[in-house]
Amino acid sequence: MYGIADKYDVPGLRTLALEKFKAFTSRPDMTCEILISATHAINKLQLPETDMALRDILVNAWLLGGFAKTFITREPKKFTTLMASAPWLSVGLHSHTLPSLQFSHVVKQASCDKCKTPAFFTQGTGFVKCKKCQADLPIKQLSLMKSEMLISE
């Protein structure tokens, strides 16, 4: 319905479709499978990148029901595949969640640019201290081989 409203530029139908879609995605019996199907359906509409109304409703449904967290925990490969097929969903989820994340002071498998030895965060300073040369390096000067930051919500 939204696709037809967009194609023929019928604002009233577009608004009604958004209201119905929001009500549908807010149902208590919503599942990850339904949201996955809705994500694929929105991709097939080939809406302009600037038309985010329908996409925003779906991003909120993924977040508010805890479906994104459940899906990524249970099936990380399928979640990654879905994100690759719907970059707008990936951006939407990240833009809503990143501001609320807190990063721990632990970084594993990093190395100092000066002496190439392991480095670690010094909590609260925004600097990384090298274990060997004791140099304080701003994070941007650190070569991260495989960063594994601990993230908590």
Per-residue pLDDT tens over the stretch 6-50? 889 999 999 999 999 999 999 999 999 999 999 999 999 988 888
For 22, counting Cβ atoms within 10 Å of its Cβ (0-12 exposed, 13-18 middle, 19+ buried), the class is middle
- The predicted model scores a pTM of 0.63
| 8 A C-beta contact, residue 15 and residue 54 | no
* Same domain membership, residue 91 and residue 27: yes
* Same domain membership, residue 32 and residue 78: yes
Task: Give strand pairing partners of 18.
Answer: none
* Same domain membership, residue 112 and residue 79: no
Q: What is the pLDDT of residues 91-108, one digit of tens each?
A: 888 887 766 555 444 444
Instruction: Quote the domain boundaries for residue 82.
Output: 2-100
* Same domain membership, residue 31 and residue 56: yes
* Same domain membership, residue 148 and residue 89: no
* Same domain membership, residue 107 and residue 94: no
> CA–CA distance from 134 to each of 31, 55, 131, 139 (Å)?
51, 48, 6, 14
Considering its fold, how many domains does the chain have in total?
Answer: 2
